[in-house]
Chain A
């Protein structure tokens, strides 16, 4: 039962990762690609984390996984912001 739920969550996470990668390859410009990649990957990671947290033996390890997800969430949002800001500055200069 737990394994089935885990597998479902992980597969859902994988779907969002694939969607993000397709967005990276197919969307026209930097900003839309960044948007698709960051949003889809964060959600995919969240679902992956939820699926893996169900497999953990105790609550502390599951909590560690959630902390990892939160840290990656903030870091990827910040780096997406920095990339977009740099691209914007370069556009306005040229």
Chain B
């Protein structure tokens, strides 16, 4: 009885997810695509919660739906300003209609073949019992890791090197964004109602981010979700026209952006200097070291995501040079 109702729920959820994905991808209007994509991200967060992945659900709702949507909407705003671009791309579609139809059909068939191949491989994978070696290794060593949330333990202790490289990817992306041009123009100061919303929303977001950072050690949460919440606060400040406090000033911003990778390297080399492996935390210190690294990572992730939303080198840098 219970399993059939769960099956119905799964079926409905998956049908709505796939239809939202199809609607977002097939839409000709870019704005509609972006809004449907945000809805897709939110329903996906529901699916992650159903699959017993609450950390991933939090991250998907905050980063995948919220911040990706904000980035796409900001890009759409630029897109609208250069409206000629839209016209030229649509005329390209009409030329050589016959060839285009052949290409469309062959690409569709290839993608369908890919889906069938993947699906067939997965059906065979699920025929065998699950290989639990890694999960058992994590469960056995969880006490030594310094935290009790297994996902945080994997991210910041057992596979800390991967997280270090991921923060390096974030840093590289923001360096690329800074190198590509100046920031977008700021927004005008908000009216009474939006300003009132900002006044209480931003402190609540900051408090929630601190809570998510702290609770990540023993419950779903952690540096990424906290960083995304903090980034949401920065984006809201930016949208309300308060550019000066959305991001720190130039020198501080550069330090904060590098702090994620920097703290990791600092801890790693300090441990190396004391004779242990690189990022091999001693079990007694593991919890505190993880919290230290997570705090720096949270600030770095928040600064990176707000800088990405801003879209380029912030204005304050040029103002500094003029002085």
**A interface residue numbers (CB < 8 A to B):** 71, 74-75, 78, 81-82, 85
Contact = CB atoms under 8 A, between A and B. Distances in A.
B252 to A, nearest CB: 30
Contacts of B191: 85
Interface string B223-256: 0000000000000000000000000000000000
B193 interface: yes
A10 to B, nearest CB: 14
Interface residues of B, number: 6
Query: DSSP class of B's interface residues: helix, strand, loop or mixed?
Result: helix
Interface in B193-207: 193-194, 197, 201, 204
Contacts of B201: 75
Contacts, number: 12
Nearest to A77: B193
Contacts of B194: 78, 81-82
Contacts of A71: 204
Query: DSSP class of A's interface residues: helix, strand, loop or mixed?
Result: helix
A85 B197 CA distance: 16
Contacts of A81: 193-194
A74 B193 CA distance: 10
Nearest to A81: B193
B199 to A, nearest CB: 11
A82 B192 CA distance: 11
A75 B201 CA distance: 9
B226 to A, nearest CB: 18
A78 B195 CA distance: 10
B302 to A, nearest CB: 20
A85 B193 CA distance: 11
Nearest to A74: B197
B21 to A, nearest CB: 20
A81 B193 CA distance: 8
Nearest to B204: A71
Contacts of B193: 78, 81-82
Which interface residue of B191, B197, B204 has the most chain A CB atoms within 10 A? B197
Contacts of A74: 197
Interface string B159-202: 00000000000000000000000000000000101100100010
A74 B197 CA distance: 8
A51 to B, nearest CB: 17
A80 to B, nearest CB: 10
A68 B288 CA distance: 31
A47 to B, nearest CB: 19
